[in-house]
């Protein structure tokens, strides 16, 4: 059994690594889907198709307040660490309370 030529599961570690990478990609896609959804129509906002006023100097227009979609995306991104922290603590402590993890994951998905 200690023979270096013997591998009980020769492809298992490669397949586990590939599966882990796919899961990570899925998690990132899910986490960023809300951001993509909010920013999807930004290019079609009226500000991008408005006619430029003819004047002496081109002066950009700014607002003291951020647009609603920017605020929404920012708030969402700032809440991610709070939502994911309990899951990371369980993994770091070696706890495998799947019911609690499932609860937090479900709660996060429906926010």
Task: Kindly report, residue by residue over 14-62, the tens digit of the pLDDT.
Answer: 888 899 889 989 988 998 999 999 999 888 888 777 777 676 677 767 7
- The token duo for 18 is 């590939």
| Distance, C-alpha 79 to centroid of its chain | 11
Q: What is the dihedral of CA 18, 20, 23, 28, to 10 degrees?
A: -100
| pLDDT, greater one: 12 or 111 | 12
In 3D space, the residue among 63, 87, 83 whose CA is nearest the CA of residue 75 turns out to be 83
* Domain ranges, ordered by start, for the chain: 10-56+66-110
Q: Which residues of 25-44 are buried (b: 16+ CB within 10 A; e: fewer)?
A: eeeeeeeeeeeeebeeeeee
What separation in angstroms does the CA of 64 have from each of 59, 61, 67, 73? 16, 10, 10, 18
Report pLDDT for 92: 64
Question: Do 69 and 37 form a contact (C-beta atoms < 8 A)?
Answer: no
Q: Tally helices (H) and strands (E) across the chain.
A: 4, 0
pLDDT digits (tens, 9 = 90+) for 71-99: 999 999 999 888 888 777 766 666 555 66
């Amino acid at each position: 059994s200690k023979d270096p030529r013997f591998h009980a599961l020769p492809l298992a570690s490669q397949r586990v690594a590939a599966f882990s990478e796919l899961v990570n990609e899925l998690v990132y896609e899910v986490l960023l889907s809300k951001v993509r959804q909010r920013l999807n129509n930004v290019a079609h906002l009226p500000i991008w198709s408005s006619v430029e006023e003819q004047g002496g100097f081109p002066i950009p227009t700014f607002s003291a307040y951020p647009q609603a979609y920017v605020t929404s995306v920012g708030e969402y991104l700032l809440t991610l660490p709070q939502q994911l922290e309990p899951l990371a603590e369980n993994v770091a402590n070696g706890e495998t309370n799947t019911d609690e993890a499932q609860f937090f994951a479900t709660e996060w998905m429906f926010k």
